[in-house]
């Protein structure tokens, strides 16, 4: 028979409790490590990632950025130019918190916050940001650089270009000054300003260069022509400005490629596109989408679906919509569109991205190959009936 009160048995029980206690502490520590590290692992395994974020906390306090730059854009010191660009634009950068609601299986309603960035474009409170920052909103709050916060309303959105305009009730606000994105060259200084990972890291400034132009990415159902930069952006930077050495806004940060083998591939919507869309939304609350009136096939689709179409360059006109702009201009089935306004169109996504930057009523020049002859056809764009 075992004596449960013997010294030997008491030592065994004490050892058992020690093991249980150590195991419990280890489980708690492991849980914290999983909670802290696992999200980072998941982020690094993602592919194309929008740069909006769930804020750790929301803070309203803070000091106002300098409204008059202390640095000079003419300094030979490149870091001085980064300071100048940051000081000039930061007062017009805002944090946006979007409260969304979900209902669970039992009908219980839960609210969750996500955050992004935005840029004030008028002194009376119009702000441009990304559509994905404000979509499905149950309430928007805008945090200014001077520490004030305001509720905001959505003026209009354009999912095709991932742009949106929101409005706060304020006057005399600092604004971002737009530059000409069509004049950009690879290698130019690029400064990104925004709120990565939420408002705890508000007005973060990163610098890099313009890495490439005319990069066409397809996100969801839409294709966009974007600026590529290696200026670091992270979740929460969405809607924040990309700025040149003169402190001019040359783009709106939107997306990054987030993969284990990829470094420094970040993208922004060109400023000329942002201005055009924002002006339409401010004026009418919506965007008029241009259309050509053709159905197109590119080389990849022709190969994938074995369509029996030989396409070396350009996009093949598979169908011309009767009565549409292309039909009126004289395009025919079997034509191959080589370029739109001088820009090559070897993919349907590229053609769609270029068209997304046009407005109804504009005239575009299509370079078309027909029966081994190259033609130039002018098309007056129509208005798409569905967005």
User: Which residues are catalytic, by number?
Assistant: 132, 162, 238
Contact 89, 247 (CB under 8 A): yes
From the list 53, 31, 35, the residue with the least C-alpha distance to 258 is 53
What is the C-alpha to C-alpha distance for residues 116 and 315, in angstroms, rounded to an integer?
A: 37
From the list 141, 248, 243, 239, the residue with the least C-alpha distance to 194 is 239
Per the structure block, which two tokens stand in for 150? 């305001």
- DSSP assignment of 188-256 equals -EEEEEE-TTSGGGTTEEEEEEEEEEEEEEEETTEEEEEEEE-S---TT-TT-EEE-TTS-EEEEEEEE
For CA atoms 203, 206, 212, 217, the dihedral sign is negative
Q: What are phi and psi of 200, to 5 degrees?
A: -65, -25
What is the C-alpha to C-alpha distance for residues 299 and 310, in angstroms, rounded to an integer?
A: 8
What is the C-alpha to C-alpha distance for residues 175 and 99, in angstroms, rounded to an integer?
A: 25
Please enumerate in sequence order all residues whose Cβ is within 8 A of that of 238, keeping only pairs 6 or more positions apart, or say none. Answer: 50, 51, 52, 116, 117, 129, 130, 132, 133, 194, 253, 254, 255
Q: Which residues pair with 120 in a beta bridge?
A: 127
| Per-position b or e across 346-359, b if 16+ CB within 10 A of its CB | bbbbbbbbbbbbbe
Per the structure block, which two tokens stand in for 172? 């005399």
Q: What are phi and psi of 150, to 5 degrees?
A: -140, 145
Q: Which residues pair with 119 in a beta bridge?
A: 93, 128
């Amino acid at each position: 028979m075992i004596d449960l009160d013997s010294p030997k048995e008491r030592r065994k029980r004490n050892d058992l409790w020690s093991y249980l206690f150590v195991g419990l502490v280890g489980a708690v520590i492991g849980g914290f490590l999983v909670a802290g590290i696992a999200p980072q692992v998941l982020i690094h395994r993602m592919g194309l990632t929008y740069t909006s974020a769930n804020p750790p906390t929301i803070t309203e306090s803070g000091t106002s950025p300098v409204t008059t730059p202390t640095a000079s854009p003419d300094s030979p010191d490149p870091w001085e130019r980064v300071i100048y660009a940051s000081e000039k634009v930061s007062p017009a950068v805002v944090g946006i918190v979007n409260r969304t609601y979900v209902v669970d299986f039992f009908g219980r309603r839960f609210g969750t916050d996500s955050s992004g960035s935005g840029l004030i474009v008028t002194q009376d409170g119009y702000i441009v940001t990304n559509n994905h920052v404000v979509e499905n909103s149950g309430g928007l709050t805008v945090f200014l650089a001077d520490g004030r916060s305001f509720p905001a309303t959505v003026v209009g959105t354009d999912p095709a270009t991932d742009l949106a305009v929101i409005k706060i009730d304020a006057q005399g606000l600092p604004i971002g000054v737009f530059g000409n994105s069509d004049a950009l060259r690879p290698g130019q200084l690029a400064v990104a300003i925004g709120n990565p990972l939420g408002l705890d890291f508000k007005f973060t400034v990163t610098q890099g260069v313009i890495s490439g132009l005319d990069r066409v990415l397809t996100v969801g159902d839409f294709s966009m022509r974007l600026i590529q930069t290696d200026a670091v952006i992270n979740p929460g930077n969405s809607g924040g400005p990309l700025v040149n050495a003169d402190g001019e806004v040359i783009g709106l940060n939107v997306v990054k490629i987030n993969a284990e083998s990829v470094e420094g591939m970040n993208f922004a919507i060109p400023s000329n596109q942002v201005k055009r869309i924002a002006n339409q939304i401010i004026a009418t609350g919506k965007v008029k989408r241009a259309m050509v009136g053709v159905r197109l096939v590119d080389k990849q689709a022709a190969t994938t679906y074995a369509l029996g179409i030989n396409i070396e360059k350009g996009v093949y006109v598979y169908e011309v919509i009767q009565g549409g702009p292309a039909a009126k201009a004289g395009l025919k089935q079997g034509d191959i569109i080589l370029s739109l306004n001088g820009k090559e169109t070897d993919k349907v996504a590229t053609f769609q991205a270029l068209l997304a930057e046009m407005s109804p009523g504009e005239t575009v020049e299509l370079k078309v190959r027909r029966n081994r002859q190259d033609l130039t056809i002018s098309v007056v764009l129509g208005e798409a009936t569905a967005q």
